[in-house]
Chains A and B, each alone.
Chain A
Amino acid sequence: MWSRPIWVMVMLELSDVTIRYGQHLAVDRVSATVAPGETVVILGANGAGKTSLLKAISGIITAQPGSAIRFQDCDVTGTPAHEITGAGIALVPEGRGLFGGMTVRDNLRLGANPARARALEKERLELVHDLFPRLAERQGQIVRTMSGGEQQMVAIARALMSNPDLLLLDEPSLGLAPIVVQELFRALARIRETGVGLLIVEQNVRLSLGIADRGYLMEAGRLTGEGSADDLLTDDAVQNAFLGTVS
């Protein structure tokens, strides 16, 4: 794909990203990378700063001076949220961020609103319906009336409609029944096969590492560990830290 030059070995590069809410230090000099087409998981307990990090990448909040966020050879630090989607980063936020009073069809059409996606709307819609056949059947349904799992599908599908190079997912499995979570991760595995990069924030260690290439551990605003997905799966520290949340 022309929009993904092969010489860029690092697609997303975070250097010393620091986030404060007033006096409160939420993210402390985090540096991390995602390569093109790579799937990376950030594992961490509640309050670790995972959501804040994703919000800073997607321009919803501004990181502190000294932070640098580079995406595909562009400095996107401080780029406003509505321009980030156009640059090729799509966020599926905590709480899904859908337009609840609108239909599935309208939500997906809005997903293709950024200029980079408009001409591709038809192809993207086919891809998305292929990934989530249920959405093809429910096009006219008002999103608010759908189950949590179905809404999460709409949220992911809407993000994919923008033809992203990197998809950010903030705890996609949160609040879903175990069987729905399984289905969700199967879908994510197939999305990964399409070549899009994935940065997933999760508390579900086993399933998320199961589809990932690499993972980072995050505690109290800092990255405290990093490794290949396979290594992390067998790592004692990970096992201990997340024993309570392993599914």
Chain B
Amino acid sequence: MLIDTLITGLVAGGTYALVAMGLTIQFGISRIMNLAHGDTIIAACFASFILFSVFGLSPILALMIVVPAGYVLSDAIYRLIMRPLVARAPNAGALEVDSILVTFGLLFVIQGVLLVAFGGNYTGYTFLNTPVDLFGTIVAANRLLALFLALVFGITLIFVLSRTRWGMTLRAVSIAPENAPLVGIDINRAARTAFALGGALAATAGVVVSMYQTFTATIGVIFTMKALIVVILGGKGSLTGALIGGLLLGLVETFVAAYIDPGLTLAATYTIFLLLLILRPTGFFGQAG
């Protein structure tokens, strides 16, 4: 029971971490609060569903198609919809507010397209549903794979952003955008790259989620909401915070559901959220200024 809950919690948490990393990159660097983030994830779920059930492509291979597609499509969305907002916003605060309104609209567009194409029912496919014996507990292999993938993608991203020059320029933009041009960084380009990267992460999360759970066209907002909580939990703009915050949220949810009452999952999440907002508004890894 304990190991089972732990694994379930970590699997959910790994997904939350990926989802939150995408959101925090878009928010920290592009200054865009993307409320359509969860719907991008669901679109990726359906994409891997199609690739699996129509073309017989395993989700592992689907990653190689869906993730680049997430990057390219998000890049296009940035150029089409976000750039005019960036151009007219007098400051970062105005851009954040505008982006909330616009991505709120985008949310319904993506959701509408998915509803028309796939209907409102739960969808899913069976992949690698073989039992694995882990310390005496039986776990489905697809869950372990999902956790593994989430950790690999998350840790790789943290490593790339903290060690490479390219990653360093993105971090510099999130720390002090006004100073970035002094070292030759084009902040508009960095914003576009970060938005596209967030889209690629959403796509990754979507494929990973579709491997082990069912989904509907309308549950995107749940992912967005949880990502928001994790981002604030871990500290706005902090990738390490998003990774640890995501895992933590997954564990708390699962343990509350297993040991207290499944009905209290959301309540527990919000209690942590509220306590943190009151006690440490910058999050675990956030820094003021």
Contact = CB atoms under 8 A, between A and B. Distances in A.
Interface of A: 58-60, 80-83, 85-86, 90-91, 93, 97-102, 106, 109-111, 113-115, 118, 158-159, 162
Contact of A162 (B172, B179, B184): B184
A82 B183 CA distance: 7
A89 to B, nearest CB: 11
B257 interface: no
22 contacts: A59-B181, A80-B181, A80-B186, A81-B181, A85-B184, A90-B182, A93-B182, A97-B179, A101-B175, A102-B168, A106-B168, A109-B165, A110-B165, A110-B169, A110-B172, A110-B183, A110-B185, A113-B165, A113-B184, A115-B184, A162-B183, A162-B184
B207 to A, nearest CB: 33
B168 A109 contact: yes
Contacts of B186: 80, 82
A102 B183 contact: no
A102 B172 contact: yes
Nearest to B171: A102
A158 B183 contact: yes
Nearest to A108: B183
Contacts of A86: 184
Given A102-B171, A110-B169, A114-B184, 10 more contacts: A60-B181, A81-B182, A82-B186, A86-B184, A98-B176, A99-B175, A100-B289, A106-B168, A109-B165, A158-B183
B180 interface: yes
Nearest to A90: B182
B181 A99 contact: no
A156 B179 CA distance: 14
B175 A97 contact: no
B181 A101 contact: no
Contacts of B182: 58, 81, 85, 90-91, 93, 97, 159
A83 B178 CA distance: 15
Interface string B157-172: 0000000010011011
A113 B181 contact: no
B287 interface: yes
Contacts of A82: 180-181, 184-187
Interface residues of B, number: 19
Nearest to A158: B183
Interface of B: 165, 168-169, 171-172, 175-176, 178-187, 287, 289
B91 to A, nearest CB: 16
Nearest to B178: A97
A158 B187 CA distance: 18
Contacts of A100: 175-176, 289
Nearest to B186: A82
Pick the 10 closest A-B CB pairs, nearest first: A114-B184, A81-B181, A82-B181, A97-B179, A85-B184, A110-B183, A82-B186, A113-B183, A99-B175, A113-B184
A1 B198 CA distance: 43
A110 B168 contact: yes
Nearest to B180: A82
A17 to B, nearest CB: 20
A98 B183 CA distance: 10
Contacts of B169: 110, 113
Q: Which of A86, A90, A98, A113 lies at the interface centre, i.e. has the most chain B CB atoms within 10 A of its CB? A: A113
A83 B179 CA distance: 13
A80 to B, nearest CB: 7
Contacts of B178: 97
A114 to B, nearest CB: 4
Q: Which of A101, A102, A158 lies at the interface centre, i.e. has the most chain B CB atoms within 10 A of its CB? A: A101
A140 to B, nearest CB: 13
B185 A113 contact: yes
A112 B220 CA distance: 42
A198 B108 CA distance: 56
A145 to B, nearest CB: 12
Contacts of B179: 93, 97-99
Q: Which of B176, B179, B184, B186 lies at the interface centre, i.e. has the most chain A CB atoms within 10 A of its CB? A: B184
A97 B172 CA distance: 11
A85 B183 contact: yes
A21 to B, nearest CB: 15
Contacts of B187: 82
